[in-house]
C-alpha cells in the first residue's frame, strides 16, 4: 500500500510544472556596507529572517520569482506554483515568510489562526469575495527556529499607485464609491461572520469627551486635566476633517463628510457598523435603484 502511494506521488510529480533552471545572469554587486530593504528596519538581525533567494523552491512547491515586499517581521515573495500541471498556464502566488522572535512568532501564529478562520467562515456572505483568504501555509526551518509561511493570491497595485492613473491623481467619486462599497462588504464579513475587528489610530476625531477619557488607565500620560492633548505643539492646530477634503465640493462634499463622520467617533457605541454604512445616502447617490 505504501509502495503504491509512493508510486502515485512520483507519477504525479512528472506531470507537474518543472522548475526553472538556475539563472545564468550575473547580478550587480551590492555594497556590503550599505543596508537595504529589511536590513534598514528597526532591530534588524539577519538570524531572524529566512534566507530566501530567486529560484529557491519553498516547501517543495513554490519557486521564488521575485521579492515584492518586506517589513520588520517578514518578507514577501512572488512565487511560481510547481504543482500546476505541465500543460496548464503558470500560476503565481504571494508567499509571506515571517521572521523569528518571541513577539514576531506570536504575531505570526495569531495571523495564521485569523486567516484560517477568515478562509473557513461563511462562503455565502457577500463580503467573503472582498477579503484576502489563505491558500496554503507551511513552515521552513531557519537558523534558530521555524518560520511560519502564509500563501495568498497576489494582490494588485495599491491605491496610492492607482491614483496615478486618474486626472489630477484623484480617484473619481463614482469609482471611489464602488471601492468603498466593496471594502464595507468585506468589513461586514470580518465583523459579523469572523468576529474580527481591525483597528487604527486616527487624528481626525477631534477632542475626546471627558467621560471617555475617564475610562482610560493611562489617560494622564497623554491628556491634561482639562482633556487637552499633551504636546499640542506637535499637533496641527488648524487641521480639521473638512479642511483635509479638498478635491470635492458642494453637496457631494457635504454628503461625504457626513458619511465619514459616522465612522470617526471616539465611542464605539456611537460608531456606525459597516453594514449600516452601506446604506448611507452618499454611497447610494449614484445607485438610486440598487438595494444595498
Supply the residues annotated as catalytic.
200
Q: Where are the beta strands (DSSP E) in 9-106?
A: 57-58, 62-70, 74-81, 92-98
CB 43 within 8 A of CB 64: no
How far, in Å, CA of 120 to CA of 195, rounded? 13
Residue 162, SS3 per DSSP: helix
Burial class (CB in 10 A: 0-12, 13-18, 19+), 196: middle
Residue that is written with C-alpha cell 470580518 in the block = 190
How far, in Å, CA of 287 to CA of 89, rounded? 38
Among residues 75, 77, 51, 76, which one has the least CA distance to residue 64?
77
Give Cα separations from 13 to 10, 22, 96, 110, 289 (angstroms).
5, 20, 25, 33, 53
Among residues 75, 3, 80, which one has the least CA distance to residue 44?
75
CB 63 within 8 A of CB 22: no
The percent of the chain in helix, strand and coil, each rounded to the nearest 5, is: 40, 15, 45
How far, in Å, CA of 10 to CA of 210, rounded? 69
Bridge partners for 75 per DSSP:
70, 97
Amino acid at each position: 500500500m505504501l509502495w503504491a502511494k509512493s508510486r502515485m506521488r512520483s507519477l504525479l510529480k512528472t506531470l507537474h510544472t518543472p522548475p526553472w533552471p538556475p539563472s545564468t545572469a550575473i547580478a550587480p554587486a551590492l555594497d556590503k556596507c550599505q543596508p537595504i530593504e529589511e536590513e534598514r528596519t528597526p532591530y534588524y538581525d539577519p538570524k531572524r529572517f529566512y534566507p530566501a533567494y530567486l529560484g529557491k523552491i519553498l516547501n517543495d512547491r513554490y519557486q521564488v520569482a521575485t521579492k515584492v515586499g518586506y517589513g520588520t517581521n517578514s518578507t514577501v515573495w512572488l512565487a511560481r506554483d510547481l504543482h500546476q500541471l505541465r500543460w496548464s498556464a503558470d500560476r503565481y502566488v504571494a508567499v509571506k515568510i515571517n521572521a523569528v522572535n518571541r513577539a514576531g512568532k506570536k504575531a505570526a501564529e495569531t495571523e495564521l489562526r485569523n486567516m484560517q478562520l477568515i478562509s473557513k467562515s461563511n462562503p455565502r456572505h457577500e463580503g467573503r469575495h472582498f477579503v484576502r483568504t489563505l491558500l496554503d501555509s507551511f513552515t521552513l526551518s531557519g537558523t534558530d527556529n521555524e518560520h511560519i509561511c502564509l500563501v495568498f493570491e497576489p494582490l494588485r497595485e495599491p491605491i496610492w499607485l492607482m491614483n496615478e492613473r486618474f486626472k489630477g491623481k484623484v480617484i473619481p467619486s463614482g469609482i471611489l464609491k464602488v471601492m468603498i462599497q466593496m471594502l464595507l462588504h468585506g468589513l461586514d464579513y470580518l465583523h459579523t461572520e469572523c468576529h474580527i475587528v481591525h483597528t487604527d489610530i486616527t487624528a481626525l476625531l477631534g477632542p475626546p469627551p471627558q467621560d471617555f477619557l475617564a475610562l482610560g488607565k493611562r489617560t494622564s500620560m497623554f491628556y491634561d486635566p482639562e482633556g487637552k492633548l499633551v504636546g499640542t505643539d506637535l499637533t496641527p492646530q488648524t487641521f480639521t476633517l473638512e479642511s483635509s477634503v479638498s478635491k470635492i465640493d458642494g453637496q457631494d462634499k457635504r454628503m461625504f463628510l457626513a458619511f465619514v463622520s459616522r465612522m470617526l467617533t471616539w465611542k464605539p457605541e456611537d460608531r456606525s457598523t459597516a453594514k449600516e454604512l452601506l446604506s448611507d445616502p452618499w454611497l447610494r447617490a449614484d445607485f438610486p435603484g440598487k438595494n444595498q
